[in-house]
Amino acid sequence: MLFDEIKIGQMTLKNRVVLAPMGTTTDVTNSFNMRDVNYYGERAKGGVGLVLTGAVVSSTEFEPAPCQKLINTKDVYMLHMIAERVHCYGAKFGIQLSPGIGRMNWIDPYTAPYSASPCPNYYKPELICRELPTDGVKRLVKSMGASAKLAMDAGVDIIEIHAYGGYLIDQFSSAKWNKRTDEYGGSLENRQRFLMEIVDEVRTACGKDYPIAIKLTLDSVDDDERPMEEGVALIQSLADSGKVDLIHFGRGAYSCRWRMVSSVYQPYGFDLEAADIVRKAAGKVPIMAHGKLNHADVAKRALQEGKLDLIAIGHGLIADPHWANKIKKGKEEEVVPCVGCGECHFNAMKGHARPCAVNPLSMHENEYELTPAKENKKILVIGGGAGGMKAAVTAAQRGFDAVLWEREDALGGNLAAAGGPGYKTDVMDYVNYMIRQVEKYKIPVELNKEATIEEIKKFAPDFVVIAAGAEPIVIPVPGADKSHVVTAVSVLRKKAEVGQRVAIIGGGDVGCELAVDLSMSGKDVTVVEMQTDILKNGARFVANDQNIRYLVENCGAKILCETGLTEVLDDGILVKQDGKIQKIECDSVVFAAGFRPNQELYQAVKAANIECVQVGDNIKPGKIIDAVHQAYHYIRVLEYI
């Protein structure tokens, strides 16, 4: 069913796979550009049936554009080019149209934005939003119709009205934010009026046969912005109107962002549990959902069981734009897995072109392609983690002779440790994918191989990539060398076992993830962290941050912050908190206190006048995106280093 045709109104899609709408700003002018043409075109080339952009605003009267805009004919030129490119591959093209983001505005941190009613700005609560005047609301409705007509004339096949995620339309429909006393406030019917008038305006502007979709929030889950009964009533109203051709639903709020935008910790297809509710409310109107549906078995089952009509994939199609074609051809093992890191969203919010940790070509589709090697080189890669495997595979793809040395008995390195918890299968999927790639390109691998400068000289490589990672830090307190003291990496890689009572030293990502994993398996866990809070070891995507905090808070582990380890005993540890020493009884002590790179080998290779580079954690402990991108680009431009 995944590759069966489907009709959305009068529009026929060649299959059920949709590039989900995601934030799209790639230009300081808030216009589409050639990066967008190439980005969306690549996903169409990859086999999806429908390409959707992220939010495109119809007006800048009340707020600066936070994303692309479609206000007049000057904004049409590049939009038309995207439509042409997408159509070349038999896919349809749609834009997600929005009247604005209201209280969620982050573009201007000094001016109170407009919203349905006075309420705190999300990012700066001290800024109290101004209430949109009634005549201003009506102008925004008109702007949505005008922009929809511009889109249709540009070759856009469907409009998805953005009524989701706590943005402006959602603020109007939520009793939490809407305290208006005019025709747009009060009863649920009045709070829905803004959306219903937009639907009417778009329908009037584009005609009775033009497809209209709505993306909306079913419920806000752990927040009081949207009770489910109101979400159901809204879907029923839209379905009963007969003016909507597709309902795209999601769940969550910014306070539980990981229910809106998938995190690495979420299970596959996490919104499918609500699909039956939406199906009943929507009646005969087709429905679509998103949320880690880039697992073909999950997507196919959702269609077969009648839970969904369309499968929206976001981050998974950033990681691998050719997901659809690979699945259709039975090449599922060739799909590049999304690791759930959220670097795409995290960096886009900082104003960067949307990068992907595992796809260096994202937003650089025509810029960073590999070329055949100009001359053969023997490349030695030391370390079989994320950076090492990527370097070796990229070298083989270019036609170099690559050899990979790994000191452990298996590939994966610290990346395999990161994928160790049972709820982080996304990361382990990528580890296994990269191992298959090493095998596919027949790269010679030597396991249990300790690289020394003597061995390297004997091998006589033309170029060396040192991706030897970083070593776990063990704090040198008395007793740290006892037999029941291990590192988090060894536990996560199943190379060390722990007892029933476990003390984890360090409350960063690794310590918290391990604490949840062990707690879920029934262990009694205490986390000891010197800083004022857990997870202060670096910036991360907000959905991942919120989700791991939620898991830590609910797993039963005991968290001791502003607490330092002073000694390891045979039956516990001594810690210092508020100037006082206390004993914590435990059977095992696990260090998750960070990592330290050992650069002696790199310095020795340089001193031997052998051309070399470092990648990933061997430079400094970092993220998957650092290791993968460094490895890819060093090999891509090897002749110019």
Phi and psi angles of residue 94, each rounded to the nearest 5 degrees, phi first: -135, 155
Whether residue 167 lies in the annotated active site: yes
H helices present in 441-565, as ranges: 453-459, 488-492, 509-520, 542-555
CA atoms of 23 and 378, how far apart (whole Å)? 42
Q: Using DSSP, state whether 445 is helix, strand or coil.
A: strand
CA atoms of 319 and 477, how far apart (whole Å)? 43
H helices present in 560-623, as ranges: 600-607
190 Cβ contact partners less than 8 Å away, ≥ 6 residues apart: 180, 183, 184
Catalytic residue among 114, 122, 164, 167: 167
424 Cβ contact partners less than 8 Å away, ≥ 6 residues apart: 264, 265, 340, 418, 513
Tell me which amino acid residue 465 is.
Answer: V
Strand intervals (E) in 122-199: 130-131, 158-163
Pairing of strands 6-8, 11-13: antiparallel
Residue 485 β-bridge partners: 589
Residue 590 β-bridge partners: 486, 504
Residue 639 is classified by DSSP as G
Q: Give the per-residue SS3 of 74-139.
A: HHHHHHHHHHHHHHHCCCEEEEEEECCCHHHCCCCCCCCCEECCCCECCCCCCCECEECCHHHHHH
Name which of 145, 128, 247, 109 is nearest 179 in CA terms. 128
Pairing of strands 558-560, 563-568: unpaired
Active site residues: 167
